[in-house]
Amino acid sequence: RCALDAERAACLHSSVLAAALADAEDMAAEAARAAEAQTWERAEASMNNTELSSEPTRADCLEAVEDREEEEEEEEAASTQEASMSETLLSQTPAVSAIKVVDDTCSDEECRELTRMLNLAGLRVEGMEAELRNAAAELGELHEELCTESAEKTQWEALEALEAEAAKVAGTRAESEALARGSEALEEEALGAKHREEALRALAAERTEQLEAEASERVGELEASAAQRTAALETALREEHCRRATEMMEAAEEAVLRSRSELWAKAEALCRSEAEALTGRARDQGLFWSVVEPALSKQLLAAEASLLGEQQPDDGEPVAGPREEGAAASEGTGSEANAQEEEEVASWFCPTPEEREQPAQAIERVIHELGSDIARVCVLGSAELTGTDSEELAAATARELMARLGERVCFLTEGMPGVQQVFAEHCGDGSRLWNVLPRGQSSSCGMGTDVHAGVDMEQSREVFAAIGDVYLTFEGGPDVAQAAQVAASRGAVVVPMMRTGSASSGLFGFPPAVLERPGFASEEQWQLLGNSEAPVAASAAAAAELVMAACLAAVVSAGETSDVLEQSLEEEVRWSREPPDTGCTGAIADTTGMHVPEEAADRAAADVGNATKVEAAAAAAAAALEAVLHSAEAQAES
């Protein structure tokens, strides 16, 4: 490529030099012709100008000389006339008469003086005539000299002009010669460029061969180096993978051992707590029997007296004995009073599992009943709707959620009228709707399944605020604001319908952080939640999209390992809480020899079997951790 570029440049340069040489020769010839023509024209013009300028000068000189001659002639004529007049006067008047006249007019001295003056005047006239003649001669000579000098000056100027034109012609010739020499130099340079072009082509060909050889050598070296680097990287990668796999296995083993020790510690703690509970229950049972036994004794005495009364003969009268006296004494209380007293004492000493359930246990139970692998959407709102479009918005949002969300999402309310009732009525057939209520209460919605948690509304609301993954709020008061605060503090997503006002717009201590746009919501979606002038369908669709995104994050965030551990822990809690199905009731009845209520016997049997169930739960958790360990080892090997 370099050789071809040099060749093209040399050809272009030679053509340019040839054109420049031809132009230079033409310009030199034209300059020579123009210089010759201009030189002769200037010479002729200079000579003509010299002649024209010399003619006025000569005419002026001649005119001046003629004027001088005329003046001299006039002066000479005047002097001659004066002399002639004086001579004529002297010749016409005789001397006697002249003298007589003089004598008559003046004295002798005056006459002599006048004569002397006349002589002097004659001399002066002659001198002036001579001077006039000399001046005329000098003027003639001066005129001739002036004519000669003007002619010489004109000739010298013409010669100088001719010399200048000759010098210009010589300069033009020198320039033409220089241009000729420049054209010759350009020709030589073009020839040199051609030679250089040929040399560059040869050099480029040689350099190309060298570069090709060097490139082939370099490619071979790079291929060898790349093969070595690839082998080294593969070795390092294998070592790194082995090291990371070893570290992962060690970390997994440590985690499993740590989890196993924690679970064993927890199992031991549970065993200790259950043992203490069993000890307390045994103590309570002893107190229970100490209180109930007198009542049962009275009942037995009454039964024995009734049997004795039935066995008395018809013609005899019953014999009053000590048992009859006890029966008569207990006749005022009756069996109904004894039954109520037993129930009160039993409820005080032996509460039901639901009454003994703590809020944390209630939360775990409700989550287990709903399903731990599904997302839970809770609805909060006012019991009385105050907004103009709040009811329509709640209904539209319920329809959108039912249409968009799948089977792995359930909806929760507190069974309250107002927003929750409207939402429940538009939540499909109610198969995915649950109402969290205190024990002994039922939902006012008439839809969904009731699940009980807590003994009062406060405990039920505490459970409701702790089991949801997503909370959707409409209007609301202080209770809604408090529930939103609790849910947000534990990491749940709260979607406020800000356009409905009240707590959902930030009143009653509603958490300000909830009113800020989350990362999974777009600006347009968040504005639709707060714009009361937007269409209800658009706001409902935006709320459904945000709830769907939050539910998807809640469902995906739980992995397989955490599901296994969570399931094992739920089984542990369930086994420690549910009564076992054993035949201990008969054994207790046979041992005591008295009639014990069936529910009390079941609770006692459940307390006795708790320790065994806790041990089984610990074993199940250990087995789950072993499965997790095997899974981690398989992943490390892969």
Q: What is the band of 174 on the pLDDT scale with cuts at 50, 70, 90?
A: confident
Token couple for 350: 């032996």
Rounded to whole angstroms, the Cα distance separating 315 from 307 reads 17
Q: Is residue 342 domain-resident?
A: no
Q: What is the band of 120 on the pLDDT scale with cuts at 50, 70, 90?
A: confident
Concatenated DSSP letters of 186-242: HHHHHHHHHHHHHHHHHHHHHHHHHHHHHHHHHHHHHHHHHHHHHHHHHHHHHHHHH
Q: CA separation (Å) from 507 to 136, 437, 491?
A: 141, 26, 21
Q: Is residue 421 domain-resident?
A: yes
CA 633 from chain center: how many Å? 43
> Is residue 264 located within the same domain as residue 389?
no
Q: What is the band of 3 on the pLDDT scale with cuts at 50, 70, 90?
A: low
Confirm if 618 and 264 have CB atoms less than 8 A apart. Answer: yes
Residue 443 pLDDT: 81
Span 231-246, pLDDT tens digits? 888 888 888 888 888 8
**Burial category of 136 from C-beta neighbours within 10 Å (exposed 0-12, middle 13-18, buried 19 and up):** middle
**Burial category of 324 from C-beta neighbours within 10 Å (exposed 0-12, middle 13-18, buried 19 and up):** middle
> Cβ neighbours of residue 230 under 8 Å, at least 6 residues apart?
none
Q: What is the pTM of this model?
A: 0.38
> Is residue 404 located within the same domain as residue 512?
yes
Q: CA separation (Å) from 75 to 89, 129, 493?
A: 21, 9, 146
> Is residue 497 located within the same domain as residue 398?
yes
Q: Is residue 515 domain-resident?
A: yes
Closest CA to 274 of 594, 616, 590, 576: 576
Q: What is the band of 79 on the pLDDT scale with cuts at 50, 70, 90?
A: low
> Is residue 472 located within the same domain as residue 570?
yes
Tell me how far apart the terminal alpha carbons of the chain are, to the nearest angstrom.
Answer: 55
> Is residue 261 located within the same domain as residue 382?
no
> Is residue 280 located within the same domain as residue 379?
no
CATH number for position 424: 3.40.50.450
> Is residue 279 located within the same domain as residue 391?
no
H/E stretch holding 493 reads strand 493-497
Residue 74 pLDDT: 79
In the chain, the number of structural domains is: 2
Confirm if 606 and 580 have CB atoms less than 8 A apart. Answer: yes
Number of alpha helices (DSSP H) and beta strands (DSSP E) in the chain: 16, 6
Q: Where are the alpha helices (DSSP H) in 322-432?
A: 322-329, 334-349, 353-356, 359-370, 390-404, 419-425
Among 254, 284, 314, give the residue marking a domain's end. Answer: 284
Residue 100 pLDDT: 46
Span 263-310, pLDDT tens digits? 778 777 777 776 677 666 666 666 555 655 666 666 677 776 766 665
Its domain, for residue 545, covers 371-576
Q: Is residue 502 domain-resident?
A: yes
Tell me the HSE value of 394 on the side-chain side, using a 13 A CA sphere.
30
Q: Is residue 445 domain-resident?
A: yes
Span 363-415, pLDDT tens digits? 888 888 888 778 899 999 998 888 889 999 999 999 999 888 877 789 999 98
Q: Where are the alpha helices (DSSP H) in 350-389?
A: 353-356, 359-370
> Cβ neighbours of residue 177 under 8 Å, at least 6 residues apart?
28
pLDDT (average), residues 100-121: 67
Q: What is the band of 158 on the pLDDT scale with cuts at 50, 70, 90?
A: confident
Q: Is residue 322 domain-resident?
A: no
Residue 332 pLDDT: 45
Greater model confidence, 563 or 505: 505
Residue 16 pLDDT: 66
> Is residue 464 located within the same domain as residue 561?
yes
Residue 512 pLDDT: 92
Among 546, 576, 606, give the residue marking a domain's end. Answer: 576
Residue 562 has pLDDT above 50, yes or no: no
> Is residue 385 located within the same domain as residue 489?
yes
Rounded to whole angstroms, the Cα distance separating 528 from 522 reads 10
Query: Which amino acid, one-letter code, is at 157?
Result: E
Of the segments 85-89, 239-243, 329-333, which one has the largest average pLDDT value? Answer: 239-243
Q: Is residue 512 domain-resident?
A: yes
Greater model confidence, 332 or 73: 73
Q: Which segments within 370-468 are labelled E, that is strand?
A: 375-381, 409-413, 433-437, 449-452
**Burial category of 539 from C-beta neighbours within 10 Å (exposed 0-12, middle 13-18, buried 19 and up):** buried
Among 259, 284, 309, give the residue marking a domain's end. Answer: 284
Span 601-610, pLDDT tens digits? 454 455 445 4
Rounded to whole angstroms, the Cα distance separating 22 from 351 reads 129
Q: What percent of the chain has pLDDT over 70?
A: 62
pLDDT (average), residues 570-590: 40
Handedness of CA 38, 41, 47, 49 (dihedral sign): negative
Conformational region of residue 502, where left means phi above 0, alpha means psi within -120 to 50, and beta covers everything else = left
Confirm if 131 and 119 have CB atoms less than 8 A apart. Answer: no
> Is residue 454 located within the same domain as residue 569?
yes
Q: Is residue 509 domain-resident?
A: yes
**Burial category of 503 from C-beta neighbours within 10 Å (exposed 0-12, middle 13-18, buried 19 and up):** buried
